[in-house]
A and B are shown apart, each in its own frame.
Chain A
């Protein structure tokens, strides 16, 4: 239960980190908040020769609002993002998902970028960023690469990041007016990895017709599951309870979850539909109450 011996590097600048990564990327690991990597080290499931800690690089800790995007630095903690007005106003689905991430003690250290780069399909943020078509900005000594969320998450714990690349920031387009978002999950205990989780974001027209729908799920496939078909059934339809049930049925048809100790595949499939229905209903209620684009974003 103790890590293998490794050489710890604590660079103070991004440039220094990229140098280290260019040199040690093949037998090294990048340490962000450590809430996933350190358990892997303790179990010796990861046995790196080098660990490169990003904790001293202040430049990666900022949340910025550009004209066309919210920019979340990779080392922003969940705790920091939970308290950010910029995140709540421009990316309400991110805000809605954050309280579902583990516990306070984990959220105090765990980082947004760490979760994304770890690429756990049971985690909330990879699904949320998939739903939002976020852009992952990867940097290396070779340069900067923008990777769309749909091209970023490749398989269970596998992302498009190269050995010498670092996830520097995540960019999300700000939500338009009349948008509502909600995140819902079912687990044995609050704070555990859920059996399945669903994030939904709806944008409505003035006559309460769905103009845009975004739905993604955790825990039902080897990578975050974007429910494209369910989204398509919603666009152009008037807001209606039966609509959410129809989308939920499409999700139940389309997901192909695995069975494990915690739940059968059939139960997960059923839960997936139910939480999508609940998330859509909550997102629609918020969208109806929100004319400006800034909104309440919890639950």
Chain B
């Protein structure tokens, strides 16, 4: 038994029409069909969070979703955050500045989880911050620098927002 599906997915702002098999996960589709290997695969059972991408702006595990289910949806991977010449976005900049990564394996998922927090939660509490990254495992940093990076990213956001309109 097998099935193939033609899907239209908006990936990082570009609509891609692709053929995929029924059993292909969104993570494998992004990595193998589109070459977007920034999405890391750790446990393939939804525990580690490394494969986190944004689906219509919400963080989801791309290992726990079939590529065919992304038909008609919008997906943001870590490749979609930086500028055309590879300039880091404010969340990536904050991770870099705070040394919020060591081996880097969890970083794409962690950065996207934080990106969702920055975009969706107006005034996050400490609890909101821990909730946002609670499903992403990092074995290097001990999370201290990641929290610091989040604080910086939120600060960068509020600086941008408080520029008075003229």
A residues adjacent to B (C-beta < 8 A): 1-10, 31, 34-35, 38-39, 41-43, 49-51, 53, 55, 79, 102-106, 108-109, 190-191
Contacts and interface: CB of A to CB of B under 8 A. Distances in A.
Given A6-B1, A38-B25, A103-B49, A109 B60 contact: yes
Nearest to B135: A103
Interface of B: 1-3, 5, 21-23, 25, 28, 44-46, 49, 52, 55, 58-61, 63-66, 68-69, 71, 113, 116, 131-132, 134-136
Interface centre among B116, B132, B135, B136 (most CB of A within 10 A): B135
B134 A53 contact: no
7 contacts: A7-B3, A10-B5, A38-B63, A42-B44, A42-B45, A103-B131, A105-B52
A53 B1 contact: no
A8 B66 contact: yes
Nearest to A190: B134
B143 to A, nearest CB: 12
B1 A102 contact: no
A37 to B, nearest CB: 9
A41 B46 CA distance: 12
- Top 3 A-B pairs ranked by shortest CB distance? A103-B135, A8-B22, A39-B45
- Main DSSP-derived SS at the A contact region: loop
A145 B23 CA distance: 32
Given A6-B23, A35-B46, A43-B45, A49 B64 contact: no
A63 to B, nearest CB: 18
A106 B23 contact: no
Given A7-B2, A35-B46, 4 more contacts: A6-B3, A38-B63, A38-B64, A105-B136
Contacts of B58: 79, 108
A191 B48 CA distance: 12
B46 A53 contact: no
Given A104-B59, A105-B49, A109-B64, A5 B132 contact: no
A106 B136 CA distance: 11
Contact of A104 (B25, B55, B63, B131): B131
A103 B65 CA distance: 16
B45 A109 contact: no
A42 B43 CA distance: 10
- Main DSSP-derived SS at the B contact region: mixed
A106 B134 contact: no
Nearest to B2: A5
Given A6-B22, A10-B68, A38-B63, A49 B46 contact: no
Nearest to A110: B64
Contact of B55 (A31, A50, A108): A108
Given A35-B46, A42-B63, A5 B131 contact: no
Nearest to B113: A105
B65 A53 contact: no
A191 B132 CA distance: 12
Contact of A51 (B22, B46, B60, B116): B22
Contacts of A105: 49, 52, 59-61, 113, 135-136
A3 B23 contact: yes
A106 B45 CA distance: 11
Nearest to B69: A55
Given A35-B64, A53-B69, A103-B49, A8 B23 contact: yes
B4 to A, nearest CB: 9
Given A105-B61, A108-B55, A5 B46 contact: no
B38 to A, nearest CB: 17
A8 B25 CA distance: 12
Nearest to A103: B135
Contacts of A41: 23
Contacts of B46: 35, 38-39, 106
Contacts of B68: 8, 10, 53
A10 to B, nearest CB: 7
Given A6-B1, A55-B69, A39 B23 contact: no
B64 A39 contact: yes
A188 to B, nearest CB: 13
Given A7-B3, A191-B134, A38 B65 contact: yes
